[in-house]
Amino acid sequence: MDLDVSSIDALAALPLFQGVEPALLQGLLATARFVRHEKGAVFLAQDQPVTRFYVVVEGWCAAAKGNAEGQETILQIFRRGDFLPEPDRDAGDEPSPLNLLALTPCVLLMLPPSIVRNALDRSPAFAANMLAAAVRRSQELRDHIEQLTLRNAEQRIGRFLLQVRFGADQEGKDIVLPFDKSHIASYLGIKPETLSRTLQFFKENGFVVERNHLIIPDRQALCDYCDSTTMKICRFAHGEDCVHSSHGDAATL
C-alpha cells in the first residue's frame, strides 16, 4: 500500500509526527510503507530479529509473551498512533523478546529502524514526541502492574471499560469491546470465565451487556474505577459532578 498526499497528511496528524519538519517528514515516510494484517496475525515473532519499526495507523495490536508449553499472555496493548517496538539506538537486528500480533484487523506503517534513529538525531520535534510517547507508555506499564497486583477483577475490568469509553465517546453511553474477550482477560490477568461473571455483575447493576457491546446506565456509572492517570483523559475531571473532585486525586479507589 503506497503513501499518497492524503495519507501523509493523516500521518502528520498523529502525535508521533506532529510538528516534525515537513522535509524531514517527507524523507522519513519516503522509506515507509503501509501493511495490512488480519486479526490474529503475528507480524513479529518472539526471537525473530527486529528489522522494522511499526506505527499503528488503524486497529489494535498487542505485545505478548509465550512459553515452551504454548501458553501466552498479553503484556501491552497498542492503538492508533502508538509505536512498537522501542527503537534502540545501540542495537542492531536484535531478537524480539515478545510476539507482536494484531488483535483486530489493522494497518501498520513500517519504517526501517535506522531511518527512525536518524530522524531522532535530526528532528527535535520528533525526538520530543518520541520521548513523550515513551513516558506515557512507561506510566501505562506502571499503572498496569498496579492493576494486576493491587486491584481485584471487578476494578481491573471497570477501569478497562472506562478507558475504552474515554477513547471513543465520553458523552455517550455505548462501549464496544475493542477485541476478543479472551484477549481482554489475558491482558487483565484474569480467566475468561471471571470476565464473563464480572460482566454479568455489571448487567445486574443496570448495564446493558450484549456480547461485545455495553450500554452504561449513566455517565458516572464507571467513575468509581477511575484513577489519577485515567482522569487525565477525562473531559469531566474535576468538574462539579466529578466524584473525585472533592479530594482532587482518584488514585485511591
The answer to the question of residue 237 being in a domain is: no
Peptide bond into 85 cis (omega under 30): yes
* Residue 52's CATH number: 2.60.120.10
Average pLDDT over residues 96-124: 92
Domain match, 121 and 49 both: yes
Q: Answer yes or no: is 58 within a domain.
A: yes
Mark whether 188 and 225 lie in a shared domain: yes
Could you say which of 144, 174, 208 is where a domain stops? 144
Let me know if residue 244 belongs to a domain.
Answer: no
Annotate 75-85 with b (16+ C-beta within 10 A) or e (fewer): bbbbbebbbbb
Q: Are residues 97 and 191 in the same domain?
A: no
Same domain, 86 and 171: no
Rounded-to-integer distance, Cα 29 and Cα 114, Å? 13
In a domain, 115, yes or no: yes
Q: Are residues 27 and 115 in the same domain?
A: yes
Number of domains forming the structure of the chain: 2
Residues 138 and 157 in one domain: no
According to the model, what pLDDT value does residue 170 have? Answer: 62
**What distance in Å separates the CA atoms of residue 67 and residue 190, rounded to the nearest whole number?**
18
Instruction: Write the pLDDT tens digit of every residue in 1-21.
Output: 555 544 677 778 888 999 998
Mean pLDDT of 132-144: 90
pTM across the whole model: 0.85
**Residue 251's pLDDT is what?**
38
Question: 18-38 b/e with 16+ CB inside 10 Å = b?
Answer: eebeeebbeebbeebebbebe
* In a domain? residue 249: no
Residues 126 and 162 both lie in one domain: no
In this structure, the answer to whether residues 26 and 137 fall within a common structural domain is: yes
114 within a domain of the structure (yes/no): yes
pLDDT bracket for residue 229 (50, 70, 90): confident
CATH number of domain containing 219: 1.10.10.10
Mean pLDDT of 137-144: 90
**163 and 122 in one domain?**
no
* Per-residue pLDDT reduced to its tens digit, 31-79: 888 899 999 999 999 889 888 899 999 999 999 997 777 788 999 999 9
Tell whether 129 and 14 lie within a shared domain.
Answer: yes
Grid cell 492503538 is found at 79
Domain boundary at 144, 163, 191, which?
144
Domain assignment present for residue 21? The answer is yes
Closest by CA position to 111, among listed 16, 195, 222, 190: 16
pLDDT, residue 128, reads 95
Contacts (Cβ under 8 Å, ≥6 apart) of 25: 8, 12, 17
Is 252 inside a domain boundary? no
Helix (H, G, I), strand (E, B) or coil at 41: coil
Instruction: Indicate whether 238 pLDDT > 80.
Output: no
Q: How far is CA 174 from CA 159, 221, 225, in A?
A: 15, 12, 17
Contact predicate 32/3, CB 8 Å: yes
Domain of 114? 5-144
One domain, residues 65 and 172:
no
Co-location of 35 and 113 in the same domain: yes
pLDDT for 3 equals: 54
HSE of 147 in the Cβ direction (CA atoms, 13 Å)? 27
Asked which of 81, 111, 144 is the last residue of a domain, the reply is: 144
